[in-house]
Amino acid sequence: MNIIGYTESAQGTPFETVTAAGRAMQYPKATTEEIDKAVALAKSAFSSFRFATGIQKAAFLRAIAEEIESLGDELVKTVMAESGLPEGRVTGERGRTCSQLRLFASLVEEGSWVEAVIDHGDPGRQPVPRPDVRRMLVPLGPVVVFTASNFPLAFSTAGGDTASALAAGCPVIVKGHESHPATNELVARAIQRAAKRTDMPEGVFSSLNGDYETGKALVEHPDVAAVAFTGSHRGGKALFDLANRRPKPIPVFAEMGSINPIIIMPRYIRDKSAQLAAQLVGSVTLGAGQFCTNPGLILLPEAKAEDFIHAMKQALSEAAPQCMLNEKIFDAYLGAMRQLLGAGAVEEVFAPSENSSAAVRPTVAKTSAAAFVKNPMLHAEVFGPFTLLVTWRSEEELEALLKSLEGQLTATLFAEGEELLSHGDLLNSMRELAGRLIINGVPTGVEVCHAMQHGGPWPATTDSRFTSVGTGAIRRFARPLAFQNFPDELLPDELKEGNPLGIRRMVG
Ligand code: NAP
């Protein structure tokens, strides 16, 4: 079912999709009329929802979390059947989704997220009076959220994009992913119930099924104000280009993946080879490698590589086979791996004798820094349990390699003590490269918190100034608005002289 405002609708022709473990599903593709209706309702909902107080939005977000939790086992079983993800991962992701919703609820309830700034006027200033100027963030308008295949809950229907857009005061229209249509419907109905329970205007949320044409129609719709996307580079770039070709362009916040370089320094690898190998294999194989933060590139000193590779092979041979999200992603994994392995100067270090989408095992390959710098084909993301080891001979070679890389979500350095403190220059090069720098840890497992930055320079995302994880994600869906010479009674509460909401403000 498409969930459109407070109704459900299935006017389009059904089409079939095959989800994880070969489960065939049929669902109706949204028609042009259904798309128009969802956007018209969102537009009309925006006229009141944009003025909803932090307390009202917080009640809505908390009600969504409660409704999701009350789905109980039905939701867990549905996600498992559609995605092939194990129960522990699904319950963990449900917990993350609900705490994310509650975190945004607390953020908007507290209220300081609007970044209020007040510059008092001075009528007596010479040679010209100084105006009274006050600024805060206000919501953009209806947001289209493309749900992600690899997080059926936390980056999907009620995931971080939806939570942050609703928290900002923007109605949301979800374009469901074909990998998990039943999960999408269950969660969309939960949001619909929460909206009714908390008296939200009809159209504050809708969810549509469909394909590329549906997504294209939504991005091109004149009443859509912004787009959030997590997926492939090809998909994100296509939507970004569509949005920029509109007569009235709109922002597309696309998170498109990364190879997340890991740099290991000589003393660290000498002292901790076995422990580090196990830690990195755990990260490479987590969730069958289907994470945008998967460490796809490990840079190690050539002189110390042998022991590490030996320990890594041991850990890889113990990795249990896992189910991939769907056949298409498995095929894309094999295709990307084949291309990289065939690019020349690459040697397979570990490869399973057989692989299938229902039981995938990790693959690791190796090349030299010189070959890697020369051949951009080796820089490609292989979405799945794969990593490329690159051996370097000197720090100059390592620096040149870092300079050859495109924008990344994360960059990690393994070094301790004096070896760490003496590599300030290396850390400075890493700054240019990524949105998050990590010391002695793995990039997978992105903490949902206020300080998190999940984004990075192009092509990791379409806009490195923003994050899609953590409370900072709300800023994507708001714009600054200045009020000049307004009488106090016409100002929003956030900017009134007496600060009735008691929020943090910068006062000049
Ligand atoms: P995808 O192909 O990028 O699709 C994601 C969503 O965007 C789907 O709803 C898709 O519609 C829509 N879409 C893609 N291109 C479009 C276009 N040109 N016009 C309109 N809509 C478009 O991602 P996926 O299917 O989840 O996985 C495919 C590959 O993406 C993976 O193998 C992996 O390489 C990468 N991926 C990356 C991340 C990440 O974290 N960055 C996450 C998941 C996947 P449909 O419903 O028609 O497919």
Angle between the 32-49 and 212-220 helix axes, to the nearest 10 degrees?
A: 40
98 among known catalytic residues: no
The pair of structure tokens assigned to 153 is 């809950």
Chain-centre distance of CA 412, in angstroms? 19
Per-residue pLDDT, averaged over 103-110, amounts to: 98
Residue written as token pair 């298409």 = 328
The catalytic residue among 82, 109, 255, 381 is 255
Calculate the average pLDDT of the chain: 96
Give per-residue pLDDT as tens, 275-310: 999 999 999 999 999 999 999 999 999 998 999 999
Q: Write out pLDDT tens, residues 424-436.
A: 999 999 999 999 9
Alpha carbon of 79 to those of 229, 264, 287: distances in Å? 20, 37, 14
Strands 172-175 and 205-208: parallel
* Lining residues, ligand 1, CB within 6 Å: 146, 148-150, 175, 177-178, 211-212, 215-216, 230-232, 235, 238-239, 255-257, 292, 329, 332, 383
Judge whether residue 55 has pLDDT over 70.
yes
Q: Which pLDDT band holds residue 26 (cuts at 50, 70, 90)?
A: confident
Picking from 181, 178, 183, the residue whose alpha carbon sits closest to that of residue 154 is: 183
In the set 82, 292, 323, 381, the catalytic residue is 292
Phi and psi torsions of 204, nearest 5°: -65, -25
**CB-based contact 79:180 (threshold 8 Å):** yes
Closest to 177 in 3D by CA, of 215, 138, 218:
215
- What tens digit of pLDDT does each residue of 261-278 get? 999 999 999 999 999 999
What six digits make up the tokens of 95?
Answer: 């917990």
CA distance 129 to 72: 62
Over 90: is that where the pLDDT of 18 sits?
A: no
Residue 21 pLDDT > 70: no
Cα separation, 357 vs 339, whole angstroms: 18
* 130-151 mean pLDDT: 97
449 catalytically annotated: no
Tell me the three state secondary structure of residue 153: coil
Nearest CA to ligand 1 atom 22: 212
CATH pick for 261-439 out of 2.40.160.40, 3.40.50.1000, 3.20.20.140, 3.40.309.10:
3.40.309.10
pLDDT at 15: 79
What one-character DSSP code corresponds to residue 135?
A: E
* pLDDT higher than threshold 90 for residue 13: no
Instruction: Please tell me the distance from the alpha carbon of residue 58 to that of residue 52, in angstroms, as a whole number.
Output: 10
Q: Residues of the chain with pLDDT > 90: what percent?
A: 94
Find, among 220, 208, 217, the residue nearest to 157 by Cα. Answer: 208
Rounded CA separation 455/464 (Å): 6
Read off the pLDDT of residues 180-224 as tens digits, 9 standing for 90 and up.
Answer: 999 999 999 999 999 999 999 999 999 999 999 999 999 999 999
> For residues 92 and 78, what is the distance between their CA atoms, to the nearest angstrom?
15
Ligand 1 centre to CA of 279 (Å) is 29
CATH code for the structural domain at 2-15+51-256+463-507:
3.40.605.10
Tell me, what's the pLDDT at 14? Answer: 85
Contacts of 127 (CB under 8 A, 6+ apart): none
- In the 3-class helix/strand/coil scheme, how is 364-420 assigned residue by residue? EEEEEHHHHHHCHHHHCCCCCCEEEEEEECCHHHHHHHHHHCCCEEEEEEECCHHHH
pLDDT tens-digit profile of 251-263?
Answer: 999 999 899 999 9
**Separation of CA 130 and ligand 1 centre (Å):** 51
The count of other CB atoms within 10 Å of the CB of residue 86 is 13
pLDDT at 257: 86
Q: Which amino acid is at 200?
A: M
Domain ranges of the chain: 2-15+51-256+463-507, 261-439
3-class SS at 325? coil
pLDDT over 80 at 23, yes or no: no
Is the model's pLDDT at 413 over the cut of 80?
yes
Strand boundaries in 209-290, DSSP class E: 226-230, 252-255, 261-264
The DSSP result for 454-495, as a single string, is ---TTTTBS-TT--SSSGGGGGGGEEEEEEES--GGGS-GGG
pLDDT, mean of residues 479-495: 98
What pLDDT does 207 receive? 98
Check for a shared fold between 2-15+51-256+463-507 and 261-439. Answer: no
Q: What's the CA dihedral at 218, 224, 226, 230 to 10 degrees?
A: -20
Angle at 174 between CA 53 and CA 183, to 5 degrees: 110
DSSP string, 170-212: --EEEE--TT-HHHHHHHHHHHHHHHHHTTPPTTSEEEE---H
The residue whose CB lies within 8 Å of the most ligand 1 atoms, and thus the one to mutate among 27, 153, 173, 212, is 212
Question: Given this model, what pLDDT does residue 24 score?
Answer: 77
Cα 432 to averaged position of ligand 1 atoms, centre (Å): 27
Whole-number Å distance, alpha carbon 89 to ligand 1 midpoint, is 21
